[in-house]
Copies of this chain bind each other. A is one copy, B any other.
């Protein structure tokens, strides 16, 4: 048998406020719990606490909804100010039908409501995605590496829906120190013939694995994935976005 992979939930973080040094708080929570950190551990951090620490919260009473936002909100019983925030965070609308708003965010992610979240945040506010999730991941990585004196990788994750399949899955939106895609193209299969396209989105799979211990409701916004043999290079979560010209579903 091979070395198993372990997924550890990290809890005991305080409520995250604007300006919080997330890396330092995670390090402190681990020390409090006497949890060891091992070289090449992958930290998966929920977008929500990253956004909170970066002050990506918007007060809805400061938002003047456009006519388009008001119309949509009225048709589908939504908060027009929230719809307005979603439209402002969107570079392009992919679908806006039957109460579902799928758009491309400024970063290029295609997801529902441009990643804007109004649940589990302060009443009357909405939480935006981090401005630059790769930079967020890199910052947290730097603090954690300095705290523990080992090389680490960090993924900032969010739960996205997907076409054709029910339910959300956790995916990587920001990455530091880990190649998000592993390319098996061209390597021979076990019959010695070249494999066809087999590029695996390991960063998304790691984020999904982490979600199994995070569980939205239980206050476990950080997980450690240990034992996965990854390519520790400089990288970006944007590598996981399919180029629009190659995408048949935009």
- A-side residues, CB < 8 A to B, are 1-2, 4-11, 33, 35, 95, 97-98, 100, 102, 109-110, 118-123, 159, 162-171, 180-181, 184, 187, 189-191, 193, 195-196, 198-202, 204-206, 208-209, 211-213, 216-217, 219-220, 225, 228, 239-242, 246-250
Residues in B with CB closer than 8 Å to A204 are 165, 167, 169, 208
Q: In the bound complex, how far is the Cα of B8 from the Cα of A188, in angstroms? A: 25
Residues in B with CB closer than 8 Å to A180 are 167
Residues in B with CB closer than 8 Å to A167 are 180-181, 199-202, 204, 240
A212 near B5 (CB under 8 angstroms)?
A: yes
B217 near A211 (CB under 8 angstroms)?
A: no
A7 near B9 (CB under 8 angstroms)?
A: no
Copies in the complex: 2
A163 near B193 (CB under 8 angstroms)?
A: no
Q: Which 7 A-B pairs have the closest CB atoms?
A: A167-B201, A209-B209, A163-B249, A110-B164, A205-B208, A208-B208, A120-B189
B5 near A189 (CB under 8 angstroms)?
A: no
A118 near B196 (CB under 8 angstroms)?
A: yes
A169 near B5 (CB under 8 angstroms)?
A: no
Q: In the bound complex, how far is the Cα of B161 from the Cα of A201, in angstroms? A: 9
